Amino acid sequence: MTHLFLGFVIALVVGLTGIGGGSFTVPALLLLVGLPAADAVGTAFVFAGVLRLVAAPFYLLGQQVHARYFRLLIMGAVPGLVLGIIALRLLAKEGNSSVVVIILGALLAATAGVTFLPRIHNPRFAGNNSHWLPWLAFPIGVESGFSSAGAGALGTVLLLNYSEMTPTQVVGTDILFGLVLAIIGSVAHWTFGSISASTLLQLLEGGVPGVVVGCLLARKVPAHKLKTVVAIVALFAGLQLVWSGTHSLGTKHAIVQVRLGNQKPADPLPEVSHP
């Protein structure tokens, strides 16, 4: 029941604002469900992908997707996504689960914090400097690959500040952008086996109707105010992950020190008497 409720709430937010998929799902799976870091990211990737797959037609049918900017974002983000996934796999394979949790928390908190930066409205930038968009999308792809988050929040901030698109077009373009990254990330994590199928199915039971409701209500709800609330919750969730990972790392270090202190020194070798 908890998973179903979580899935519905997260999906409702994604449908309303286009953001919050990975930013909410990863902390929830780590802190509430107790999944390992790699499994939490992999499961969040598939969950976010399905949500965006359901939401995308609402914006495509309404012609709220900017094809050119979408293509430029994908060109830069996909290589970054692959790099982020590789980095996560290497760290997780070394058994540094606490370190991975700390990095995930820091990335999620930083992503949420971007929402509160002063807006630099330069709507002509993307049109006049479109060759820069792939480079700006590259770090978004890296973060998305490592944490499954970033495509929604950072992509929205980038497009709102530096393109001439309307807010609805930004959400539509960003949802399709996040969908492509989620599909690629889902395939990679499914191949690695870092997905909790049982948790995913329970999340989707609440998530699919939640994202439909969110998309239907998107034009009736003040998305700007809701995004601020989403960012605040995501910021605290990221900081909670940092604290949790740091506490776990400190506990492990203390246990190692105790074990080393309890080890008895080896008995000295008996002296050999020479005639």
* Least trusted range by pLDDT, from 18-22, 45-49, 85-89, 188-192: 18-22
Name which residue leads in pLDDT, 21 or 139. Answer: 139
**With bands split at pLDDT 50, 70 and 90, how would you rate the model's confidence at 121?**
low
pLDDT at residue 119 is higher than 70: no
Cβ 170 vs Cβ 159: under 8 Å: yes
**What is the pLDDT, as a whole number, of residue 224?**
62
Answer for the pair 125, 265: CB distance below 8 angstroms, yes or no.
Answer: no
Burial class (CB in 10 A: 0-12, 13-18, 19+), 178: buried
Asked whether the predicted pLDDT for residue 168 surpasses 70, the reply is yes
Q: What is the pLDDT of residue 50?
A: 87
Cβ neighbours of 4 (radius 10 Å): 16
Q: How far apart are CA 97 and CA 100, in angstroms?
A: 5
Q: 101: number of CA atoms within 13 Å, CB side?
A: 25
Question: What is the arithmetic mean of pLDDT over 114-121?
Answer: 65
Instruction: State which of 44-53, 78-87, 113-122 shows the largest mean pLDDT.
Output: 78-87
pLDDT score at 79:
94
Q: What percent of the chain has pLDDT over 90?
A: 4
For 137, the enclosing helix (H) or strand (E) is: helix 133-147
Take residue 66 and report the two structure tokens written for it: 């900017």
